[in-house]
Structure 1
Amino acid sequence: MDAFSGSHANDDRHGFLGREVLELGTLLFAAGAAHLLVVSLGHSDSGVRALIVLGSLLLAFSALHRWRRHRRRSPVNTTTAPFPDHTRSPVEDRLWSVRVTVADVPGGLAALTGRFAALGVDIRLMQVHPDGTDAVDEFFVTVPPNVDEADLRRAVRDAGGRRAVVRTADVHELSDTTSRTLTLVDALVTGATTLERCLIALAAAHEVRHVGPRQIQRSVEGAGPGTSGPREELSGTVMTLPAPGGGSLTVHRAGLPFTPVEFARCRALAQVARSLAEAPLGR
């Protein structure tokens, strides 16, 4: 095996030297022939013109040869690569909110994100609301123009999700909850907004109704002894919070129950508003 390899290497070396000698001889012959041709024809006007014509023909032949070789290597495939349709107007991706209840077990979230990936859905923001043995996950996603609400619901159903709520979302909802809450607290402190507006923004509620202290007192008296005044309460799509200055606020959201996490956030925001209302005027 080693002897064969050594003899093969020697043959390559001898072949290499032979090619070098051949190329050098060819170069010297071409240089001598070119010199003889130039000396023979260059001393007359007709000879100069002949050299120019001959050079032009050689250049043209070389260019034609290169063009034909390039065309053979990269043919135009009109069946698989048609001209782009510039008449179509571009359609931007749409922003959706997808809230779904999933089992709080390993792999439950991965199945849903895998379905989203298959549709080309881009998850921009995600919020998790623990709820006992389940978890309520809210996704803010952008989807391609060919994906609609039915496709999102089907993806949720195929991944084992329950009670899906799919709606169009606003770009302002992409801010994280902590930043949005702090912004609302600042607006409350400066008096730029009201607690009702803050609750609607924080919990994506549809309506906030204020019940005055007198109405509450009458309802308490009518309910009999042992009934207290306004209290904090969560019941599905309705939450009740004490209002600053007395009375209560009833927060309602259609078709989408509030989670305990959302209830806790709204309670904290209402407490801030009550503290501001009870603070001395010279604060």
Structure 2
Amino acid sequence: MLTHPVETTVPRLSLDDCRRPGSPFYDQVRAAALGNGLEPRALTVRTLLHLPRIARHNGSVSQRQIETELRFSGNGLRADQAEIKSLIPFRQFALQDLRFVEYESGRAAEVFSRLHYLRSARPGSRNFALVDPVDGLPVSLCSVSPLEWMRVGRQLNSQFGVPRERAWDISRVYSFDVAPKNAISYLLARVRTVFRIEMRDVDLLTTAVDPNLGFTGASYRSANWQHWMSIQARPYLYVDRRYASPRQLRERFGTANLVELKARPGVLVEQSRAKLLDSRIFCCRVRGETESVPLDDLRVLRR
């Protein structure tokens, strides 16, 4: 079992506190991760994903609840790491020493389905990675998929003149803790180059950044992506204490309707109650400069 993280005197923290680097929550996560052979970044994201399940309406969580979720998330992460131990890099290299490759889809799916916070891979994707020059293990990797989000596609067409079928989505990104600084932004830049040369029918790359998990979009900004719109947050859903996306619910149960799911016998379905932050949609034109969008023109789309 995962050992207890370091105690702290803070009785309750808000979800905003937990998302903020340098907070007592981050100290707790780091102590729990390093004491149990886990990657702090992966444990942070996985725990942040599950804290809304037990947070009050005002977004506060108790110290005991945080400890419980850390143990639950940590035990799950340790089991997932063990399943793909042979794919986890352990050597550190400088950014210029890493090799950029189109990564084999089966191995990418193993990493994403085990270590990405969504615990799934997107079918029909092209996968790219920065791999270490000795073992060929993925240090940072991403998958790029045809854009399926209809609402985003309609907004891209109406506001920016980009048809949905000419946009692809960075649907998964995962970076191991051994990755050097700026690895993700460098990976994104190399992916853009591939699409500019090979994919003449693609004009735009997009991605969704969820700030509820501590993501800020800094790597995308460093790669000259721009924040073009936002998407209203909807409650997180959980099945048997584990987060499940609407896509995963439909694949598993044939529906993502909360009422229908709660009526299923033997299935514990829960919904977050605290208000969540809107996701940000970052975009990058495959050719030419990507224009910034003035604050007054940033649209917040409904789900």
TM-score where L is the length of structure 2: 0.26
Higher relative contact order (CA 8 A, sep 6+): 2
TM-score where L is the length of structure 1: 0.27
Greater share of helix: 1
The structure that has the greater radius of gyration is 1
